[in-house]
Structures are given as structure tokens and as C-alpha cells.
Amino acid sequence: MGIGIFQQLKSGLSRAHKGFVGKLDSLFTRSRKLDEEMFEQLEEILIESDIGPRMSGRILGDLRTAVKTNKVSDSAGLKALLQAEMIKLLKSPPAWNHNSDGPTIILIIGINGVGKTTTIAKLANHFLKQKKKVLLAAGDTFRAAAIDQLKIWAERLGVDCIAHQDGSDAAAVCFDAVTAAKARQVDILIIDTAGRLHTKAHLVEELKKIKRSIQKVEEGAPHETLLVLDATTGQNGLLQAQVFYREVDTSGLILTKMDGTAKGGVALTVSNELSLPIRFIGLGEKIDDLTDFNPREFITALFEA
């Protein structure tokens, strides 16, 4: 990651840094002795940062072992060990599942309100900067606003968008989009989907139908299914993720609104609880405010921001 992008990451995580590292520094200033009381207060800080009780307990257990192994006796050493432990817990994303014989099809899932449509635009921009030919598909046919919003973004980015009228069959839209992607020899097709969690059973069936429809045109598709989560929802984000993860084969996560949370620990929780890699994080509202996720750079920026 270049210096400019790392600075962007640090800036985007400044609120999380103040909320998390600020509390750490306050604890270490009050108590320099590495006793049980300090570890208990440290665990409270981890839980308050949306890391969750189970993950916090795991981190503390590993941290206690590391303190003994490395013979650490001061708070500065403890802070460095904590940073290293958090980096170890975050999984690096595997290589993209690129389709070498046609368009790479990316299905975007997640509940309404997490910034899904805007994230699709940012993702399209990400690939356009790599000189890829991109096509969008408005698979959220339940909301006319979602279709219109995606069309507007497509126009701004200078890419095509396959869309039907609102209320149309989402699977039919996706079938047409994959057919068009193959005919136009695009590199990347990004498909939006509905996120009506209050009608979960219907939503899950619709997503499964979309997958079947896509596979009629392109065997093995979608090549990536990315779940978009709002980082500001904290532990609720994990509950949302579990609904989709149990029902839909998901390959990775995109965490949005990381710049808007003073916690940020949800990144460790969702990645570990679901054994899913984080692919991207959103750091703002601008079109360029989406960055590839790298565990070491993320934690380093969180501690240094």
C-alpha cells in the first residue's frame, strides 16, 4: 500500500483510534503494572470496542501467554503485543476468484441501509482504475430508488447498467445482465440485490433463484459473493451477517462506514466468527473512499491514526 493510501486509511480510522487507542493509553497511564486488574480493564475496553466477549477473552488469553513468553513487564510492551495479536487474528483475503474465460461476476448482498448501492459504485470505480471493463446490474427490483440510484452512478462512471422496471423478476434481470456481459466481453459484472431482511425467507429464496439464473448462462458463477456490512452497527452487524452466511454461500465481506465508528473492533469479530475474509473497507462518502483490506495495515493504522 502506498503512503497516500495508508494516510487515507489512518485518516478514515481516526475516530476508531480515538475511541479504542485513546482508552488504552488512558488505562496504561493510570496503571503501569501488568496485574490482573489491568487485564480485566483491558478486556472491558476490547468488549466496548465491539470485539465481543468471546473474541476479547481469546485475545486476552493469547496476550497473557505472549507476555510471559516475551517477558514483557511494561504497558508499552503490552500495547505492542496487543497490536501483534490483533493482526494475527485478522485473516488476509485470498486471491480473487477471477474468471479467466469470461466476465468475473460479483454478487453484492446485504440488508438495506448499509450503503450497498454506493459501495457498488465505489467497487466499479476500483476496477475501472485497473483498466477493467465494468458492467452493473440493478438486481434490487423491489425498490425503484435503488434502480435509479445505480443508473445514476453508472452514468457518472461511464459504464452501462442492465435494469428492468421496479417490481420485475430479479433473476430475469441478472440472467440478462450475464448474457450482456458475455456478449459485450466485459471484465467485471457487479450485481446489486435486494436486502429486505424483514422478509428473510423470501429474500433468501430470491438470492438462490438469482444464483440459479446466473449459472444457466455462466457455469460456476457468481465468482465472488460479497456481503456488505455497516461497521457502525457493531455487534448487530454480526447478527446480520449470520443470517446471510447461513443461507447464502458468501466468499467475503465489505465493511462500510468505518470512518463513522469510534469502535472498529467489529472487523475482528465478523471476520473470525464467520471465517470470512474482509475484502474492502469503506472510509468515507467519496467515490475513492474504498480500499483493499490488509490486516497488518488496518491494525497499524488503527493504532497510529
Same domain assignment for residues 81 and 207: no
pLDDT score at 52: 84
CATH number of the CATH domain containing 254: 3.40.50.300
Residue 2: the pLDDT is: 54
Q: Do 50 and 194 belong together in one domain? A: no
Q: What is the pLDDT of residue 44?
A: 94
Residues 244 and 290 in one domain: yes
Looking at the fold, whether 176 and 200 belong to one and the same domain comes out as: yes
Domain span at residue 57? 3-89
Q: Quick one: pLDDT at residue 248?
A: 85
Q: What is the distance between the alpha carbons of residues 270 and 91, in angstroms, rounded to a whole number? A: 11
Q: Is residue 299 part of a domain?
A: no
pLDDT in tens, 132-191: 999 999 999 988 999 999 999 999 999 999 999 999 999 999 999 999 999 999 999 999
> Pick from 65, 89, 113: which residue ends a domain?
89
Exposure of 197 in the CB half-sphere (CA atoms within 13 A): 14
Give me the pLDDT at residue 244, please: 78
Cell output for 255: 465493511
Domain count for the chain: 2
Same domain, residue pair 151 and 177: yes
The verdict on 47 and 112 lying in the same domain is no
Say whether both 145 and 199 belong to one domain: yes
Q: How far apart are CA 119 and CA 141, in angstroms?
A: 17
Q: Are residues 68 and 130 in the same domain?
A: no
Strand partners, 107: 191, 225
**Residues 121, 266 share a domain:** yes
Domain boundary, last residue among 26, 60, 89: 89
Whether residue 240 lies inside any domain: the answer is yes
Closest CA to 116 of 254, 248, 221, 262: 254
| Residue 277 in domain | yes
pLDDT digit of tens for each residue in the chain (305 aa)?
Answer: 555 678 888 999 999 999 999 999 999 888 778 889 999 999 999 999 988 898 999 999 999 999 999 999 898 899 999 999 999 988 888 999 999 999 999 999 998 888 899 999 999 999 999 999 999 999 999 889 999 999 999 999 999 999 999 999 999 999 999 999 999 999 999 999 998 765 577 888 899 999 999 999 999 999 999 999 988 887 777 777 777 777 788 999 999 999 988 777 888 888 888 888 999 999 998 999 999 999 999 999 999 86
Whether 68 and 152 map to the same domain: the answer is: no
32 and 117 housed in the same domain: no
Residue 272 lies in a domain: yes
Are 37 and 155 contained in the same domain?
no
Cis peptide before 222 (omega within 30 of 0): yes
Domain boundary among 89, 117, 152: 89
